[in-house]
Amino acid sequence: MRILELTKEEQDKVLDALLQRSPANYTEQEAAVREIIASVRAGGDEALFAYEERFDHCALTKETVRVTRQEIEEAYRALDPELVEVMRRAAANIRAFHEKQKTNSWITTTEEGTILGQKVTPIAISGCYVPGGRAVYPSSVLMNVIPAKVAGVPRIIVCTPPNAEGKCPTGTLVAADIAGVDEVYKAGGAQAIAAMAFGTESVPRVDKITGPGNIYVALAKKACFGYTGIDSVAGPSEILVIADETANPRYIAADLLSQAEHDPLASAILLTTSRSFAEAVSAEIDGFLQTLSRAEIIRQSLENYGYIFVGETMEELTEAANAIASEHMEIVTANPFEVMTKIRNAGAIFLGPYSSEPLGDYYAGPNHILPTNGTARFFSPLSVDDFVKKSSIISYSREALEKVHEDIEKFAQSEGLTAHANSVHVRFE
């Protein structure tokens, strides 16, 4: 793995390279995505089924597009019972964490007769997209669905691509059932996003779409935003590790590779103050690559977006980490909690030698749907808040309005909005 000195010039080069992975740069696929969305929006089920046959080689009908209870029971029987129990334990952790995020409506009043507040209401229906093929992640089902369930969303659906025989991945179906999904539909790709955004005869229109997917899914979510809500336009996975000479180089190498195996576009970055430690980590990576099953993907990822930077001070490292704003950030130093206080931009922060990134992916409870491509500067992990709306409440008595109506009229007139001013004025003519 390449080892570089941490300079401003090198940091800027890395940032430019990472931002090139954004789905916003894949303009050549946008025309195809727009065509699919327009077709499904106009043609409903007929267009959806035609695309499923074309892309997933599966012939669907109104009678077979929805997963049946029998298919879910078959998935339970086909799955390792111990894995089912692991999913249940992970779901319990995820639910417990997200329960703490719930907010309630509130009201404040004054003796003058004003009532102000906020009404918190869950969205009516949410849709979760779950990839198929090689990227089957039951953990993402739990992470997307459970916050919606905790928020009180009354109807939650999942769309996931079937195979040629019309079967969906067993892990996806079991995770959906454990999480409390109401309906699962056999639909994948951009056509599934369009179906959830606009509705078809079989698939309901949803208020928000969450979940990962390939570039066509990401671009479809981007194109449908406004007609429906979305979580984000997610880019490839990322990990950044801040480590000093007290860290175990074998642990750090393993953690970097845990994200590099996702995709040739995934990024894995180590920031350290020790050249000898950097070299030790690089050597451990070479060793792991001799045994890991996804070694070829990892090699491509590290060649494209793998870096070890050596800086002089911890302040330099934290400054660079904040600039990169990584999806996952590990801090493995002598005083990780102290270093954490200097971090402003990160999707999830893992502290200490035994808090490796997969702990967050699968089990601990915090959400693993995280901001990518530097968007941790202004975005947050998926949460209960993503599935509720907040409405302001305003009520003034005549007496309360009388005390301030001249202020309001003056403000409105200063903006040239005389009808605004008149709306208040007429009440005191």
Please provide the DSSP assignment of 154-211 as one string: SEEEEEE---TTSPPPHHHHHHHHHHT-SEEEE--HHHHHHHHHH--SSSPP-SEEE-
Cα–Cα distance, 321 to 3 (Å, whole number): 16
pLDDT tens across 308-355, in order? 999 999 999 999 999 999 999 999 999 999 999 999 999 999 999 999
CB atoms within 10 A of CB 344: 11
Helical pair 30-43 and 45-55, crossing angle rounded to 10 deg: 140
Q: What is the pLDDT of residue 234?
A: 81
Q: What is the pLDDT of residue 134?
A: 66
CA atoms within a 13 Å half-sphere pointing along the CA-CB vector of 86:
11
Residue 327: active-site member: yes
The active-site residue, picked from 327, 330, 357, 409, is 327
| pLDDT beneath 70: ranges in the chain | 23-26, 133-135
Q: What is the pLDDT of residue 14?
A: 86
> Which residues lie closer than 8 Å to 86 by C-beta, 6 or more apart?
none
Q: What is the pLDDT of residue 349?
A: 97
Q: What is the pLDDT of residue 232?
A: 86
Q: What is the pLDDT of residue 213?
A: 87
Q: Which amino acid is at 407?
A: D
| Alpha helices, DSSP H, located in 306-345 | 314-324, 336-340
The active-site residue, picked from 98, 262, 328, 368, is 328
Q: What is the pLDDT of residue 23?
A: 67
Residue 112: active-site member: no
Q: What is the pLDDT of residue 233?
A: 84
Q: What is the pLDDT of residue 360?
A: 94
pTM of model > 0.85? yes
Dig out the tokens for 380 from the structure.
């947050």
